[in-house]
Chains A and B, each alone.
Chain A
Amino acid sequence: MDELLDFTAGMSLALLALVLFSIRRQHIRVEYSVSWFGAALALLLLSRWPAALQTLAGWMGIANPPLALLLIIGMLFLLVIFRLSVIISDLKDANIALTQRLAILEYRLESLHGQTGAKS
Protein backbone atom coordinates (compact mmCIF):
# COMPACT_ATOMS: atom_id res chain seq x y z
CA MET A 1 0.00 0.00 0.00
CA ASP A 2 2.84 2.41 0.91
CA GLU A 3 4.34 2.06 -2.57
CA LEU A 4 1.02 2.87 -4.19
CA LEU A 5 0.53 5.92 -1.95
CA ASP A 6 4.08 7.12 -2.66
CA PHE A 7 3.53 6.63 -6.38
CA THR A 8 0.21 8.53 -6.21
CA ALA A 9 1.86 11.36 -4.28
CA GLY A 10 4.63 11.52 -6.88
CA MET A 11 2.13 11.62 -9.75
CA SER A 12 0.11 14.32 -7.97
CA LEU A 13 3.22 16.47 -7.56
CA ALA A 14 4.11 15.89 -11.21
CA LEU A 15 0.60 16.92 -12.25
CA LEU A 16 0.78 20.05 -10.08
CA ALA A 17 4.14 20.94 -11.60
CA LEU A 18 2.84 20.34 -15.12
CA VAL A 19 -0.19 22.56 -14.53
CA LEU A 20 1.94 25.35 -13.02
CA PHE A 21 4.44 25.09 -15.88
CA SER A 22 1.62 25.20 -18.43
CA ILE A 23 0.07 28.29 -16.83
CA ARG A 24 3.44 30.02 -16.79
CA ARG A 25 3.97 29.21 -20.48
CA GLN A 26 0.37 30.30 -21.18
CA HIS A 27 -0.50 26.87 -22.59
CA ILE A 28 -3.54 26.68 -20.33
CA ARG A 29 -5.75 29.44 -18.99
CA VAL A 30 -5.93 29.85 -15.21
CA GLU A 31 -9.69 29.22 -15.08
CA TYR A 32 -9.25 25.85 -16.80
CA SER A 33 -6.41 24.81 -14.54
CA VAL A 34 -8.55 24.95 -11.39
CA SER A 35 -10.09 21.49 -11.93
CA TRP A 36 -6.67 19.92 -12.47
CA PHE A 37 -5.28 21.70 -9.40
CA GLY A 38 -8.19 20.49 -7.31
CA ALA A 39 -7.81 16.90 -8.51
CA ALA A 40 -4.04 16.86 -7.99
CA LEU A 41 -4.28 18.40 -4.49
CA ALA A 42 -7.02 15.97 -3.44
CA LEU A 43 -4.88 13.02 -4.53
CA LEU A 44 -1.79 14.42 -2.79
CA LEU A 45 -3.76 14.91 0.39
CA LEU A 46 -5.21 11.39 0.37
CA SER A 47 -1.89 9.75 -0.48
CA ARG A 48 -0.08 11.57 2.37
CA TRP A 49 -2.88 11.15 4.91
CA PRO A 50 -3.65 7.41 5.20
CA ALA A 51 -6.13 7.93 8.06
CA ALA A 52 -8.31 10.11 5.84
CA LEU A 53 -8.10 7.56 3.04
CA GLN A 54 -9.07 4.79 5.48
CA THR A 55 -12.08 6.80 6.65
CA LEU A 56 -13.19 7.50 3.07
CA ALA A 57 -12.78 3.82 2.16
CA GLY A 58 -14.94 2.97 5.18
CA TRP A 59 -17.65 5.40 4.01
CA MET A 60 -17.51 3.86 0.56
CA GLY A 61 -17.80 0.34 2.04
CA ILE A 62 -14.44 -0.70 0.58
CA ALA A 63 -12.21 -2.75 2.84
CA ASN A 64 -9.08 -2.11 0.82
CA PRO A 65 -8.02 1.60 0.94
CA PRO A 66 -5.79 1.46 -2.21
CA LEU A 67 -8.82 0.24 -4.16
CA ALA A 68 -10.80 3.18 -2.78
CA LEU A 69 -7.97 5.50 -3.83
CA LEU A 70 -8.05 4.14 -7.40
CA LEU A 71 -11.81 4.61 -7.48
CA ILE A 72 -11.48 8.18 -6.19
CA ILE A 73 -8.79 8.93 -8.80
CA GLY A 74 -11.08 7.59 -11.52
CA MET A 75 -14.04 9.64 -10.27
CA LEU A 76 -11.99 12.84 -9.98
CA PHE A 77 -10.70 12.53 -13.52
CA LEU A 78 -14.16 11.71 -14.83
CA LEU A 79 -15.40 14.93 -13.21
CA VAL A 80 -12.55 16.94 -14.75
CA ILE A 81 -13.21 15.41 -18.18
CA PHE A 82 -16.92 16.08 -17.85
CA ARG A 83 -16.22 19.72 -17.02
CA LEU A 84 -14.03 19.92 -20.12
CA SER A 85 -16.88 18.46 -22.20
CA VAL A 86 -19.16 21.24 -20.90
CA ILE A 87 -16.52 23.84 -21.81
CA ILE A 88 -16.03 22.33 -25.28
CA SER A 89 -19.79 22.34 -25.85
CA ASP A 90 -19.98 26.02 -24.91
CA LEU A 91 -17.07 26.81 -27.21
CA LYS A 92 -18.67 24.88 -30.07
CA ASP A 93 -21.95 26.77 -29.61
CA ALA A 94 -20.04 30.06 -29.58
CA ASN A 95 -18.06 29.08 -32.68
CA ILE A 96 -21.21 28.15 -34.59
CA ALA A 97 -22.96 31.38 -33.62
CA LEU A 98 -19.88 33.44 -34.56
CA THR A 99 -19.43 31.63 -37.88
CA GLN A 100 -23.09 32.21 -38.76
CA ARG A 101 -22.91 35.85 -37.70
CA LEU A 102 -19.74 36.42 -39.73
CA ALA A 103 -21.31 34.85 -42.82
CA ILE A 104 -24.49 36.94 -42.42
CA LEU A 105 -22.51 40.16 -41.94
CA GLU A 106 -20.39 39.39 -45.02
CA TYR A 107 -23.55 38.70 -47.01
CA ARG A 108 -25.14 41.96 -45.92
CA LEU A 109 -21.94 43.90 -46.58
CA GLU A 110 -21.72 42.48 -50.10
CA SER A 111 -25.38 43.34 -50.69
CA LEU A 112 -24.71 46.88 -49.49
CA HIS A 113 -21.69 47.19 -51.80
CA GLY A 114 -23.83 45.88 -54.65
CA GLN A 115 -26.49 48.51 -53.94
CA THR A 116 -24.00 51.41 -53.71
CA GLY A 117 -22.21 50.13 -56.82
CA ALA A 118 -25.48 50.07 -58.73
CA LYS A 119 -26.37 53.63 -57.63
CA SER A 120 -23.01 55.20 -58.55
Chain B
Amino acid sequence: MTIAATDGLLIIVPAYNEEASVGQVVEEIRQVLPGVDVLVIDDCSLDQTAAVARRAGAQVLSLPYHLGLGGAVQAGYKLAYELGYQYVIRTDGDGQHDPRYIPAIYEALKTSGCQMVIGSRFIAGDGAPSSLVRGLGIRFFRFVLRPILGQPVYDPTSGFVGVNREALQVFSKSFPLEYPEIEALVVLQRRRFRFKEVPCRMRPRMAGRSTITVLKSFYYIIHVLLGVFVNVLKYERRRR
Protein backbone atom coordinates (compact mmCIF):
# COMPACT_ATOMS: atom_id res chain seq x y z
CA MET B 1 0.00 0.00 0.00
CA THR B 2 1.34 3.39 -0.95
CA ILE B 3 0.29 6.50 0.89
CA ALA B 4 0.88 9.82 -0.82
CA ALA B 5 2.16 12.75 1.20
CA THR B 6 -0.97 14.65 0.24
CA ASP B 7 -3.09 12.20 2.23
CA GLY B 8 -2.43 14.32 5.28
CA LEU B 9 -0.59 11.62 7.20
CA LEU B 10 2.38 12.36 9.41
CA ILE B 11 4.49 9.68 11.08
CA ILE B 12 6.05 10.92 14.31
CA VAL B 13 9.00 9.21 15.96
CA PRO B 14 9.83 10.39 19.48
CA ALA B 15 13.47 9.60 20.13
CA TYR B 16 15.94 10.06 22.96
CA ASN B 17 19.51 8.85 22.45
CA GLU B 18 18.48 6.53 19.62
CA GLU B 19 21.29 7.26 17.14
CA ALA B 20 21.91 3.53 16.69
CA SER B 21 18.36 2.77 15.56
CA VAL B 22 16.52 5.92 14.48
CA GLY B 23 18.11 6.05 11.02
CA GLN B 24 16.99 2.51 10.21
CA VAL B 25 13.52 3.24 11.63
CA VAL B 26 13.12 6.25 9.33
CA GLU B 27 14.46 4.35 6.32
CA GLU B 28 12.06 1.46 6.95
CA ILE B 29 9.12 3.85 7.21
CA ARG B 30 10.10 5.50 3.94
CA GLN B 31 10.43 2.09 2.27
CA VAL B 32 6.96 1.04 3.37
CA LEU B 33 5.38 4.46 2.77
CA PRO B 34 7.35 6.31 0.10
CA GLY B 35 6.68 10.03 0.12
CA VAL B 36 5.04 10.12 3.53
CA ASP B 37 6.18 12.84 5.92
CA VAL B 38 8.28 11.57 8.83
CA LEU B 39 8.98 13.77 11.82
CA VAL B 40 11.51 12.69 14.42
CA ILE B 41 11.09 14.51 17.72
CA ASP B 42 14.52 14.63 19.26
CA ASP B 43 14.01 14.94 23.01
CA CYS B 44 17.29 16.77 23.58
CA SER B 45 19.38 13.66 22.95
CA LEU B 46 22.99 13.61 24.08
CA ASP B 47 24.05 11.70 20.98
CA GLN B 48 23.66 12.21 17.21
CA THR B 49 19.97 11.21 17.02
CA ALA B 50 18.90 14.41 15.22
CA ALA B 51 21.72 14.28 12.65
CA VAL B 52 21.16 10.58 11.92
CA ALA B 53 17.41 11.13 11.50
CA ARG B 54 18.02 14.04 9.08
CA ARG B 55 20.44 11.96 7.04
CA ALA B 56 17.82 9.24 6.78
CA GLY B 57 15.39 11.76 5.30
CA ALA B 58 13.23 12.75 8.27
CA GLN B 59 12.23 16.23 9.38
CA VAL B 60 13.47 16.85 12.91
CA LEU B 61 11.77 18.76 15.70
CA SER B 62 14.52 19.39 18.23
CA LEU B 63 13.44 20.06 21.80
CA PRO B 64 15.86 22.38 23.62
CA TYR B 65 15.25 20.58 26.94
CA HIS B 66 14.54 16.95 27.73
CA LEU B 67 10.77 16.68 28.34
CA GLY B 68 10.26 12.94 28.53
CA LEU B 69 8.10 10.80 26.26
CA GLY B 70 4.77 12.56 26.79
CA GLY B 71 6.19 16.05 26.31
CA ALA B 72 7.99 14.96 23.14
CA VAL B 73 4.94 13.25 21.66
CA GLN B 74 2.74 16.22 22.50
CA ALA B 75 5.19 18.57 20.77
CA GLY B 76 4.78 16.42 17.66
CA TYR B 77 1.01 16.50 17.98
CA LYS B 78 1.02 20.30 18.38
CA LEU B 79 3.16 20.80 15.29
CA ALA B 80 1.07 18.32 13.27
CA TYR B 81 -2.12 20.10 14.30
CA GLU B 82 -0.72 23.51 13.41
CA LEU B 83 0.49 22.23 10.03
CA GLY B 84 -2.96 20.86 9.25
CA TYR B 85 -2.28 17.11 9.21
CA GLN B 86 -5.39 14.93 9.31
CA TYR B 87 -3.78 11.82 10.76
CA VAL B 88 -0.72 11.19 12.90
CA ILE B 89 0.77 7.79 13.64
CA ARG B 90 3.38 7.45 16.34
CA THR B 91 6.09 4.84 16.15
CA ASP B 92 8.99 4.51 18.58
CA GLY B 93 12.57 5.32 17.69
CA ASP B 94 13.98 2.05 19.03
CA GLY B 95 12.59 0.00 16.15
CA GLN B 96 10.15 -2.11 18.18
CA HIS B 97 7.23 -1.01 16.03
CA ASP B 98 7.27 -2.64 12.62
CA PRO B 99 6.38 0.02 9.99
CA ARG B 100 4.70 -2.67 7.85
CA TYR B 101 1.70 -2.34 10.20
CA ILE B 102 1.35 1.42 9.68
CA PRO B 103 -0.91 1.03 6.61
CA ALA B 104 -3.33 -1.12 8.65
CA ILE B 105 -3.48 1.52 11.40
CA TYR B 106 -3.93 4.26 8.83
CA GLU B 107 -6.69 2.37 7.03
CA ALA B 108 -8.52 1.79 10.31
CA LEU B 109 -8.19 5.48 11.19
CA LYS B 110 -9.75 6.49 7.89
CA THR B 111 -12.55 3.94 7.75
CA SER B 112 -13.54 3.03 11.32
CA GLY B 113 -14.72 6.44 12.48
CA CYS B 114 -12.57 6.00 15.60
CA GLN B 115 -10.46 8.89 16.80
CA MET B 116 -7.62 6.58 17.89
CA VAL B 117 -6.28 3.30 16.57
CA ILE B 118 -3.84 1.20 18.59
CA GLY B 119 -1.43 -1.33 17.17
CA SER B 120 -1.98 -4.21 19.56
CA ARG B 121 0.37 -7.12 20.30
CA PHE B 122 -2.30 -9.14 22.02
CA ILE B 123 -5.45 -8.80 19.95
CA ALA B 124 -4.53 -11.84 17.86
CA GLY B 125 -3.53 -13.69 21.02
CA ASP B 126 0.04 -14.39 19.90
CA GLY B 127 1.93 -11.55 21.56
CA ALA B 128 3.96 -11.85 24.74
CA PRO B 129 4.93 -9.03 27.12
CA SER B 130 8.63 -8.30 27.50
CA SER B 131 8.71 -9.22 31.21
CA LEU B 132 6.62 -10.87 33.91
CA VAL B 133 6.03 -7.59 35.77
CA ARG B 134 5.06 -5.83 32.56
CA GLY B 135 2.68 -8.67 31.73
CA LEU B 136 1.08 -8.40 35.16
CA GLY B 137 0.82 -4.63 34.75
CA ILE B 138 -0.90 -4.98 31.38
CA ARG B 139 -3.39 -7.50 32.79
CA PHE B 140 -4.05 -5.20 35.76
CA PHE B 141 -4.72 -2.19 33.56
CA ARG B 142 -6.95 -4.19 31.23
CA PHE B 143 -9.05 -4.98 34.30
CA VAL B 144 -9.04 -1.37 35.58
CA LEU B 145 -9.76 0.22 32.20
CA ARG B 146 -12.56 -2.13 31.10
CA PRO B 147 -15.35 -0.38 33.09
CA ILE B 148 -13.89 3.10 32.53
CA LEU B 149 -13.59 2.78 28.75
CA GLY B 150 -16.73 0.73 28.31
CA GLN B 151 -14.93 -1.71 26.03
CA PRO B 152 -11.98 -4.07 26.41
CA VAL B 153 -8.49 -2.90 25.54
CA TYR B 154 -5.95 -5.67 24.93
CA ASP B 155 -2.75 -3.66 24.70
CA PRO B 156 -3.20 -0.48 26.77
CA THR B 157 0.55 0.22 26.98
CA SER B 158 1.19 0.14 23.25
CA GLY B 159 2.87 3.25 21.90
CA PHE B 160 2.12 2.26 18.32
CA VAL B 161 -0.85 4.59 18.02
CA GLY B 162 -2.60 6.56 15.33
CA VAL B 163 -4.91 9.50 15.91
CA ASN B 164 -7.14 11.58 13.67
CA ARG B 165 -7.48 15.36 13.69
CA GLU B 166 -10.18 15.40 16.38
CA ALA B 167 -7.91 13.55 18.80
CA LEU B 168 -4.99 15.65 17.63
CA GLN B 169 -6.83 18.79 18.68
CA VAL B 170 -7.47 17.35 22.15
CA PHE B 171 -3.93 16.01 22.60
CA SER B 172 -2.29 19.20 21.43
CA LYS B 173 -3.96 20.89 24.41
CA SER B 174 -4.01 18.11 26.98
CA PHE B 175 -1.69 15.14 26.95
CA PRO B 176 -0.27 13.09 29.81
CA LEU B 177 3.41 13.80 30.18
CA GLU B 178 4.80 10.68 31.83
CA TYR B 179 3.78 7.19 30.65
CA PRO B 180 1.13 8.70 28.35
CA GLU B 181 -0.38 5.65 26.62
CA ILE B 182 -2.95 4.53 29.21
CA GLU B 183 -3.92 7.99 30.41
CA ALA B 184 -4.38 9.13 26.81
CA LEU B 185 -7.10 6.50 26.40
CA VAL B 186 -8.94 7.92 29.40
CA VAL B 187 -8.49 11.50 28.15
CA LEU B 188 -10.20 10.52 24.89
CA GLN B 189 -12.91 8.49 26.58
CA ARG B 190 -13.84 11.49 28.75
CA ARG B 191 -14.67 13.26 25.49
CA ARG B 192 -16.72 10.30 24.27
CA PHE B 193 -14.16 9.52 21.58
CA ARG B 194 -13.73 5.95 20.38
CA PHE B 195 -10.70 3.78 19.80
CA LYS B 196 -9.99 0.54 17.99
CA GLU B 197 -7.18 -1.97 18.16
CA VAL B 198 -5.62 -3.60 15.12
CA PRO B 199 -3.28 -6.58 15.38
CA CYS B 200 0.43 -6.03 14.94
CA ARG B 201 3.69 -7.63 15.98
CA MET B 202 6.38 -5.93 18.00
CA ARG B 203 10.07 -6.59 17.42
CA PRO B 204 13.01 -6.52 19.82
CA ARG B 205 14.80 -3.20 20.14
CA MET B 206 17.26 -2.60 17.30
CA ALA B 207 19.89 -1.27 19.70
CA GLY B 208 20.45 -0.29 23.30
CA ARG B 209 18.71 -1.62 26.37
CA SER B 210 15.34 -0.89 27.88
CA THR B 211 15.52 1.35 30.94
CA ILE B 212 12.52 -0.36 32.54
CA THR B 213 13.38 -2.08 35.82
CA VAL B 214 11.18 -3.97 38.28
CA LEU B 215 11.15 -0.96 40.61
CA LYS B 216 10.26 1.38 37.74
CA SER B 217 7.48 -1.00 36.71
CA PHE B 218 5.86 -0.71 40.15
CA TYR B 219 6.30 3.07 40.10
CA TYR B 220 4.73 3.04 36.63
CA ILE B 221 1.67 1.13 37.88
CA ILE B 222 1.08 3.50 40.81
CA HIS B 223 1.73 6.63 38.74
CA VAL B 224 -0.56 5.58 35.89
CA LEU B 225 -3.28 4.37 38.24
CA LEU B 226 -3.30 7.78 39.90
CA GLY B 227 -3.30 9.48 36.50
CA VAL B 228 -6.25 7.37 35.35
CA PHE B 229 -8.34 8.32 38.37
CA VAL B 230 -7.37 11.98 38.15
CA ASN B 231 -8.58 11.96 34.54
CA VAL B 232 -11.80 10.24 35.58
CA LEU B 233 -12.35 12.96 38.18
CA LYS B 234 -11.96 15.58 35.43
CA TYR B 235 -15.12 14.16 33.87
CA GLU B 236 -17.26 17.23 34.50
CA ARG B 237 -14.77 19.35 32.53
CA ARG B 238 -15.15 17.35 29.36
CA ARG B 239 -15.86 19.40 26.29
CA ARG B 240 -18.49 17.21 24.69
Residues of A near any B CB (own CB < 8 A): 95-96, 99-100, 102-104, 106-107
- Are B62's CB and A104's CB within 8 A? no
- Are A104's CB and B65's CB within 8 A? no
CA distance A102 to B61 in the complex (A): 10
Q: Would you list the 10 A-B pairs with minimal beta carbon distance, nearest first?
A: A100-B75, A103-B63, A99-B65, A107-B61, A104-B79, A96-B71, A103-B61, A102-B64, A103-B75, A96-B67
Q: Least Cβ distance of B30 to chain A in Å?
A: 19
Residues of B near any A CB (own CB < 8 A): 59-65, 67, 71, 74-75, 78-79, 82, 177
- Are A99's CB and B61's CB within 8 A? no
A95 — nearest CB in chain B belongs to which residue? B65
Residues of B within 8 A of A107 (CB): 59-62, 79
A96 — nearest CB in chain B belongs to which residue? B71
Residues of B within 8 A of A103 (CB): 61-64, 75
Residues of B within 8 A of A95 (CB): 65
CA distance A107 to B40 in the complex (A): 12
Given A95-B65, A106-B62, A107-B61, answer yes or no on A100-B78 (Cβ-Cβ < 8 Å): yes
CA distance A103 to B12 in the complex (A): 15
B83 — nearest CB in chain A belongs to which residue? A108
Central interface residue in B67, B82, B177, by most chain A CB within 10 Å: B67
Give the contacting residue for A99; candidates B60, B64, B82; CB below 8 A. B64
Residues of A within 8 A of B79 (CB): 104, 107
CA distance A22 to B52 in the complex (A): 48
Given A96-B177, A99-B71, answer yes or no on A104-B61 (Cβ-Cβ < 8 Å): yes
Q: A99-B63, A99-B71, A106-B64 are in contact. List 20 more A-B contacts (CB 8 A).
A: A95-B65, A96-B67, A96-B71, A96-B74, A96-B177, A99-B64, A99-B75, A100-B63, A100-B67, A100-B75, A100-B78, A103-B61, A103-B75, A104-B61, A104-B75, A104-B78, A104-B82, A106-B62, A107-B60, A107-B62
16 contacts between A and B (CB under 8 A): A96-B74, A96-B177, A99-B65, A99-B67, A99-B71, A100-B67, A100-B75, A100-B78, A103-B61, A103-B62, A103-B63, A103-B75, A106-B64, A107-B59, A107-B61, A107-B79
CA distance A96 to B79 in the complex (A): 14
A104 — nearest CB in chain B belongs to which residue? B79
Central interface residue in A102, A103, A104, A107, by most chain B CB within 10 Å: A103
Q: Least Cβ distance of A71 to chain B in Å?
A: 28
CA distance A95 to B177 in the complex (A): 12
A92 — nearest CB in chain B belongs to which residue? B177
